[in-house]
Each structure stands twice: as structure tokens, then as C-alpha cells.
Amino acid sequence: MIILVRAVIIHITVIIKSTEVIVNVLLLSNCFYKRL
């Protein structure tokens, strides 16, 4: 059971990090388009 909980926590952290990366990319692209 402990291993399962740990796997779920890792999965959630990976999803959060990937969404943060996507948000950062979107913000950077918005700034870039505004400069153009």
C-alpha cells in the first residue's frame, strides 16, 4: 500500500511540474509575440 501511495504522489508531482512548464512556455511565447 505504501508503495502505491508513493507512486501516486510521484505521478501528481510530475503532472504539476509538466503543467508549470507548459504555463511558463505559454507566458514566454506571449511576451515574445508582444515584442514582435
- For the four alpha carbons of 2, 4, 6 and 9, in that order, the dihedral sign comes to negative
Number of domains in the chain: 1
Is 0.75 topped by the overall pTM? no
- Per-residue model confidence (pLDDT) at position 14: 98
Q: Can you give the pLDDT of all 36 residues of the chain as single tens digits?
A: 789 999 999 999 999 999 999 999 999 999 888 877
Q: Tell me which residue range forms the domain holding 25.
A: 1-36
CA-to-CA separations, 22 to 10, 13, 34, 36, in angstroms, rounded: 18, 14, 18, 21
- Per-residue model confidence (pLDDT) at position 33: 81
